Chains A and B, each alone.
Chain A
Amino acid sequence: DAKTTQPPSMDCAEGRAANLPCNHSTISGNEYVYWYRQIHSQGPQYIIHGLKNNETNEMASLIITEDRKSSTLILPHATLRDTAVYYCIVNFDSGSRLTFGEGTQLTVNP
C-alpha cells in the first residue's frame, strides 16, 4: 500500500470548514483513498473513500487531485464533536488490512 503523509495536528474554529490534507505521491492506479477518524480511544469511524473523482457524503467531502498524488478531506462546518485523529489511508483493497499511520489530530475550538 502507498505511504501517506499528514500534518500531525491542525486547529479549526467551530462552524468553519476544516480542510485536512494528505499526500500520497506513490499511489498506484487501482488504490483507493480512505479517510477514517478516531475520537479519543473509541473505535475508528469510516468517513469517506474515493478513487479518482471527488466524493461527498453526509459527513464530508473528499477532493482528490487530478494526478491523485494528494487529497483533502473537507468537513464543511466543523463542530466540537469533530475533534479527533483523522487517518488518511491508501489501500488497493479495503477488503483486507487497513494500515493506519500517525494521522492528523484535529482540534475544533469554540
Chain B
Amino acid sequence: DSGVTQTPKHLITATGQRVTLRCSPRSGDLSVYWYQQSLDQGLQFLIQYYNGEERAKGNILERFSAQQFPDLHSELNLSSLELGDSALYFCASSARDRGPYEQYFGPGTRLTVT
C-alpha cells in the first residue's frame, strides 16, 4: 500500500460525458502528479501540482483539467469524453516538487468510455 488513494476504481461512461477522478496523496506529500496509461501510448505524464499550484504540464488535452485543493487532494476532470480516453489514470505523490524524491503511485482509476 503506497498510501495514495484514488477513487473510483472503475468508471464506465458514454462518449461526450464528463467525469471527475479523485486522488488523495500520502500524508505529508505536497506534490501530486497525474499519469495516463493506455494500450497504445503507454504511461504518460499529464500534469503536476505542488501545494495547490500547477507545476508542470505534459501531454494533457484541453478537454482535461486538474486542480489541487487546500487539503492537498487533487481532482482530474475529463470532459467531452471520447473512446480514445479509455485508459488507466494514475495519481502519484511525492514530498517535494523538485529534487530526487521518489513518487508513490495510487492503484489507479480504470476509465471505460463506451
Contacts and interface: CB of A to CB of B under 8 A. Distances in A.
Interface residues of B, number: 32
A51 B100 CA distance: 9
Contacts of B102: 34, 46, 49, 94
A81 interface: no
A99 interface: yes
A102 B42 contact: yes
Nearest to B6: A43
A35 B105 CA distance: 14
A93 B99 contact: yes
B92 A43 contact: yes
Q: How large is the interface on A (under 10, 10 to 19, 20 to 34, 35 or more residues)?
A: 20 to 34
A48 B92 CA distance: 16
A9 B45 CA distance: 24
A21 interface: no
A43 B107 CA distance: 5
Contacts of B99: 93-95
Please classify the interface of chain B as helix (H, G, I), strand (E, B), loop, or mixed, using the class held by over half of its residues. Answer: strand
B94 A95 contact: yes
A99 B99 CA distance: 16
Contacts of B35: 98
B11 interface: no
Interface in B46-64: 48, 50, 55-56, 58
Contacts of B104: 46
A49 B100 contact: yes
Nearest to A42: B107
Interface of A: 32, 34, 38, 41-46, 49, 51, 87, 93-102
Given A95-B101, A98-B35, 18 more contacts: A32-B100, A41-B88, A43-B2, A43-B4, A44-B92, A44-B105, A46-B104, A93-B98, A93-B99, A94-B99, A94-B103, A95-B96, A96-B97, A98-B43, A98-B45, A99-B45, A100-B43, A102-B42
